[in-house]
């Protein structure tokens, strides 16, 4: 479908200091991207800018060749945004709302929607207002994953989901997506995204401090645990149980990327990107 291209983008809420400044970013299709950041880092605002709900103050933003703030019908039918809070009409059932929504999304797959609601154990006939927060969340996620949209934006998708629903969401996300779809997931529940992401972006102090493919992180870094300090660690964190550390990977076995430790390192100012072989962008 094309790309999302951000060039030198700046954004601030009226009367507030800059939230983003000089952001550069390109998202190709076929990736699940995790957007990580502390509370208030701007993750939700970033998604809303991509969805055309907030407008950048500076720079360029193009989503598949469209300018989101123009909110053209051709753009809107390619973007599905699931906010953290319920966005569904409370007086309708999931099934009734799906019928209203479907004509706006040409590739909406009704069978997938029905299957996902079953999988998520949500009653499609029940009015939204009678569903729990987690069940409402699952209706929104089922809609997004069935929408066929080229860009799917999920704000804290696992917030409010129980353990088995988180696992079901991860599995369905990977199985339902096609190569021409891009998903951006904003979250601070980092562990919930394990084994799901193709790429991670860490937003901190108005900048993207790390933007890297998970495969590159796993190739270039070694994530370990030791009872004592490790002398050549790039970053380490001690707890009562021992020391978690990140090393540059040379001959060590490949390890699963510890996203939480990576996040702590990057937000502590460690120039992790300089240890990677194929970094997408580096602003540290
Ligand atoms: N409508 C608004 N008007 C003014 N400031 C806002 C508005 N919405 C958010 N902000 C401010 O912008 C900053 C970023 O908020 P945002 O919700 O994008 O962060 P976040 O990373 O999603 O945070 P969280 O993890 O807590 O959801 C915060 O300082 C917040 O107070």
Q: In angstroms, rounded to a whole number, what is the distance separating the alpha carbons of residues 163 and 47? A: 25
- Residue 157: name the closest of 180, 199, 187, 126 by CA: 187
Q: Which atom of ligand 1 is nearest to the CA of 45?
A: 18
Of 34, 42, 48, 263, the residue with max ligand 1 atoms within 8 A of its CB, to mutate for a pocket test, comes to 42
Concatenated DSSP letters of the chain: ---EEEEEEEE--TTS--SEEEEEEEE-SS-EEEEEE-TTSSHHHHHHHHTTSS--SEEEEEETTB-GGG--HHHHTTEEEE-SS--S-TTSBHHHHHHHHGGGSTT--HHHHHHHHHHTT--TTSBGGGS-HHHHHHHHHHHHHHS--SEEEEESTTTT--HHHHHHHHHHHHHH--TT-EEEEEES-GGGGTTT-SEEEEEETTEEEEEEEHHHHHHHEEEEEESS--TT-SEEEEETTEEEEEEE-SSSPP----HHHHHHHHHTT--GGGG-SS-SB---
State percent of the chain over pLDDT 90: 84
pLDDT at 90: 93
Q: How many angstroms from the chain centroid is the CA of residue 273?
A: 19
Match 């919930």 to its residue by tokens: 192
* pLDDT 10s digits, 73-128: 999 999 999 999 888 999 999 999 999 999 999 999 999 999 999 999 999 999 99
For ligand 1, whether the C-beta of 13 sits within 6 Å is yes
pLDDT at 211: 95
* pLDDT 10s digits, 146-173: 999 999 999 999 999 999 999 999 999 9
Give the pLDDT band (50/70/90) at residue 283.
Answer: very low
Mean pLDDT of 18-36: 93
pLDDT at 2: 66
Give the pLDDT band (50/70/90) at residue 193.
Answer: confident
- Write the CA distances from 54 to 44, 151, 184, integer angstroms: 10, 16, 17
Would you say residue 279 has pLDDT above 60?
no
Q: Which of 96-105, 165-174, 216-225, 270-279 has the lowest mean pLDDT?
A: 270-279
ipTM for the whole complex:
0.97
For ligand 1, whether the C-beta of 39 sits within 6 Å is yes
Q: In angstroms, rounded to a whole number, what is the distance separating the alpha carbons of residues 246 and 270? A: 11
Would you say residue 217 has pLDDT above 70?
yes
Residue nearest to atom 30 of ligand 1 (CA): 40
- CATH superfamily to which 4-197 belongs: P-loop containing nucleotide triphosphate hydrolases (3.40.50.300)
Domain locations along the chain? 4-197, 213-284
Q: In angstroms, rounded to a whole number, what is the distance separating the alpha carbons of residues 237 and 226? A: 10
Would you say residue 192 has pLDDT above 70?
yes
pLDDT at 159: 92
State percent of the chain over pLDDT 70: 97
pLDDT at 123: 96
Give the pLDDT band (50/70/90) at residue 194.
Answer: confident
Q: In angstroms, rounded to a whole number, what is the distance separating the alpha carbons of residues 70 and 76? A: 10
Would you say residue 229 has pLDDT above 90?
no
The structure tokens listed for 253 are 């076995």
Would you say residue 201 has pLDDT above 70?
yes
Would you say residue 188 has pLDDT above 90?
no
For ligand 1, whether the C-beta of 41 sits within 6 Å is yes
pTM here is 0.94
């Amino acid at each position: 479908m094309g790309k999302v291209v951000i060039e030198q983008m700046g954004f601030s809420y009226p009367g507030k200091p800059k939230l983003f400044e000089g952001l550069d970013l390109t998202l190709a299709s076929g990736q699940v991207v995790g957007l990580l950041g502390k509370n208030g880092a701007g993750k939700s605002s970033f998604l809303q800018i991509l969805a055309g709900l907030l407008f950048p103050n500076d720079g360029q933003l193009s989503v598949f060749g469209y300018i989101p703030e123009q909110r053209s019908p051709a753009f809107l039918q390619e973007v599905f945004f699931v906010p953290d809070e319920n966005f569904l009409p409370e007086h309708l059932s999931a099934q009734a709302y799906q019928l209203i929504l479907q004509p706006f999304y040409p590739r909406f797959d009704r069978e997938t929607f029905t299957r996902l609601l079953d999988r998520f154990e949500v009653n499609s006939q029940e009015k939204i207002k009678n569903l729990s927060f987690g069940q409402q969340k699952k209706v929104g996620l089922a809609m997004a994953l069935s929408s066929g949209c080229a860009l799917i934006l999920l704000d804290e998708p696992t917030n409010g989901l129980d353990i088995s629903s988180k696992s079901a969401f991860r599995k369905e996300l990977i199985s339902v997506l096609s190569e021409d779809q891009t998903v951006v997931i904003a979250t601070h529940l980092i562990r919930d995204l394990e084994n799901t992401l193709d790429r991670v972006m860490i937003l901190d102090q108005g900048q993207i401090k790390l933007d890297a493919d998970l495969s590159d992180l796993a190739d270039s870094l070694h994530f370990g645990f030791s009872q004592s300090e490790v002398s050549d660690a790039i970053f380490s964190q001690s707890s009562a149980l021992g020391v978690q550390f990140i090393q540059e990977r040379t001959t060590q076995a490949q390890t699963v990327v510890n996203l939480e430790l990576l996040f702590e390192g990057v937000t502590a100012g460690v120039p992790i990107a300089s240890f990677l072989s194929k970094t997408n962008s580096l602003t540290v």
